[in-house]
Amino acid sequence: MAMIRKKGLKVFTFILLLVFLTSFFLNYAHTTTAYTWFPKQMVMHFSEHLKRLMKYPERPCGCSQCISETGLAPWFDERFNHTMQPLLNAQNAFLENDTYRWWMKLQRERLPRRLNDTFRELFRIVPSDVDPFLEKGPLVCRRCAVVGNSGNLKQSQYGRDIDNHDFVLRMNRAPTAGFEADVGRKTTHHLVYPESFRELAENVSMILIPFKTMDLQWVISAMTKGTINFTYVPVPRKIHVKKEKILIYHPAFIKYVFDSWLQSHGRYPSTGILSVILSLHICDEVDLYGFGADSKGNWHHYWENNPSAGAFRKTGVHDGDFESNVTTTLASLNKIRIFKGR
């Protein structure tokens, strides 16, 4: 974050200098026929330029194109809601009734008796304030690489390009060791649910996607007594993640992705599309790697030796084809870029 702030400060300083020099030379050109530019007049002139600059900001970010810019694509504007908060924290830890009922049905969970108690206990363990990961600004250009798990990453040589992004998001059990040339070395945020958890490096933030109340309780357990080791499959009893590196995907944001972006297709969104829509809200430029089939039309993971595998494309839970249409449409509107392998 310090690097991003420093970059923004440099851009801001450059703009101020540009305004000053422009004002100076324009005035100098008229000094022989008009008047002498005294320090007081110089300050007033500079102040007027600065006021105009601050009063009429042209763009929401420092990139050449900004995802959150509206008025360019009606399809995008109908779906993108900038007020939605992607991450759960102590200040927004509540669910509207319709969201609460929908979330409870995702995995046919019985209504919990103490959801609010679970929230309170959770934020006694993990950070309870708004994460700086969500900070954006008009002078900053935040670039995200969202790295999926498709076999089309094999022999892609995308590793260096992926690592050049400010944020690199990966998901589930995706490894990097042994595949660095194609998938990169860098990871800033890794999205998981308890059943897909894998050990992470110390500097990586874990974003838990809670599909049920037990997922939240699992975080509490895994960071304390380690009493939960089974949900519908075995899960790690303890995890080695620093508490300040634990982030929680907001259940209301999951429903927003399902309602607004997937138009209720499938039973609930996949980790992949949840990662993509999250990135639209936290970054100004988004590049997708490792999504979709490989060059032969097969759907499989890049670390597997089973190129004919494709069961996860049609699971009865996620609508892979519709999710793919969403990302393709975003790319056609120049909101994201999709790299499909070589």
Active-site residues, by number, are 268, 318
What Rg value do the Cα atoms of the chain yield, rounded?
24
Tokens of 340: 């499909």
| Spatial distance between the Cα atoms of 118 and 97, rounded to a whole number of angstroms | 17
Q: State yes or no: 172 annotated in a binding site.
A: yes
Q: At what angle do helices 39-55 and 2-28 cross, to 10 degrees?
A: 130
- Does 318 appear as a known binding residue? yes
Task: Tell the burial category of 38 from Cβ atoms under 10 Å away from its Cβ (0-12, 13-18, 19+).
Answer: exposed
Tokens of 204: 């990586």
Helix (H) or strand (E) holding 143: strand 143-147
Judge whether 239 and 57 are in contact, CB under 8 Å. no
Give the type of residue at 278.
L
Question: Does 148 carry a binding-site annotation?
Answer: no
Instruction: Judge whether 82 is annotated as a binding position.
Output: no
Q: Which residues contact 195 (CB under 8 A, 6 or more apart)?
A: 231, 232, 233, 235
The tokens 């206990």 sit on which residue? 121
292 is in an annotated binding site: yes
Residue 249 known to bind ligand: no
Helix segments in the chain, DSSP class H = 2-28, 39-55, 74-79, 97-105, 115-122, 159-163, 180-183, 213-222, 251-256, 271-282, 320-332
| 289 known ligand binder | no
Is residue 171 a contact partner of residue 275, using CB atoms and an 8 Å limit? yes
Exposed, middle or buried: residue 127 (CB in 10 Å: 0-12, 13-18, 19+)?
A: middle
Residue 5 carries which side chain, given as an amino acid letter? R
Annotated binding site for substrate: 107, 149, 172, 232, 268, 272, 292, 301, 318
Annotated binding site: 107, 149, 172, 232, 268, 272, 292, 301, 318
